[in-house]
Chains A and B, each alone.
Chain A
Amino acid sequence: MMLRASVTAIALFSVVLGLAAAGEARTVITGTVKSKAGQPLPGLALLEKGEIHNNVWDRGALVDANGRFTIELAEGGQYGLHVYSSGYIYSPQAVRVETGKTLEVTVTLVPEPTRANDPVITRAGFFPWEERRAKVTFVKLEVSDPNDDLGPQVLAFNAATGRVYAMDPPRKVLHLKANFPQGVYQLGIDSSQAPIKPRDWYFVVADHQCNTTDILSFPHEPRPPRVIR
């Protein structure tokens, strides 16, 4: 009788331990970004939640100097992984991550053969705005595109929170495959709890032909893009 009770107790304890371990298992996308020559590339890895190109942006991460990134997710499922590095054409890739597991990917980027067709970020700024009880900071980005075929990827990434945002276009766009307008894009961020730290913010823009700007980081002073040989 005693033995049976002990076995039951041990079995129950094991189940509880197992459930706890399962509960702790992280859901992660991690990977390496490199050039065709195998050189590690720094940049940004940004995720859409659900089907790729749905413009529902979720989490992201900085890609370090060794070309490594890790994004922890709240849940598994389908995501659109977009990887950017200055001077390179961005890479989109649909991925599927199992809850509680780690997906490892390798991303190879190719350089922009010319920068003449790339969108350009001409200005970025942060503008606090108070209205009665709410406190909002508007993040603004001025974008131009020589081909006039901007897509919805006018993106802001907050490295402190890991959040990715598609910025609002200057005027309404009928659908995501339409050409988005050039001009000032903006994003309203709730800064009632804490002020925005510009140092945390990164910006990148891609057009419908995948032409991609350099990543704009603090102090957000655009520089002429260069062709990587």
Chain B
Amino acid sequence: MVTIIDYGVGNLGSIQNMLQRIGVASLVTADPKQVEQAERIILPGIGAFDSAMTKLEQTELPSILRERSAAGIPLLGICLGAQLLTHGSEEGSRPGLGFIDAHCIKFNAQKIGSLKVPQMGWNEVIFQSTNTITDFMDMEIPPRFYFAHSYHMVADQEYVLGLTQYGYNFPTILKKGNILAMQFHPEKSHQYGMQILRNFSVWKP
């Protein structure tokens, strides 16, 4: 059972829809008691950093999420949800949850040349190591996913599981122990999204 956090931000329906399509049970909840019992968590999010962080901090969820992640429960942040797991973003002034040693910066205008910001569209993720999450069976690799963002994560090499190139290389999957941060939208990424979510649903970190 995957628990999808509802804190008033994010594309919950789509994530649940895709999980349902791949036969993974899920529960969308804002109830702290239910999150306390969660065995596997997805933190979604779209939009602006500060606005999302504010909404999240208006609930009891940050401390529960901290407890759950310390307990070793697999936790996946998607898009803005991924960014919230870092220490903070140039987009706003509020600190993030800080579960992963990373922060978020705006795309470097010089380095991307004529490419536009936000990055909107499909792009490849090159895995830096292999594990359950990176298993794409006989699908065509590298896998590609849908991105829609103006800010991206930066972190030390040891946490980088996936890299993407948009003008320059930057991390798009971060992993620290049982915590995963994915910059792209698996729920909008067809077969590739389904596979990575399938992998997440059986992952034993």
Mutual binders A and B: no
- Tell me the A residues contacting B by CB distance below 8 Å: none
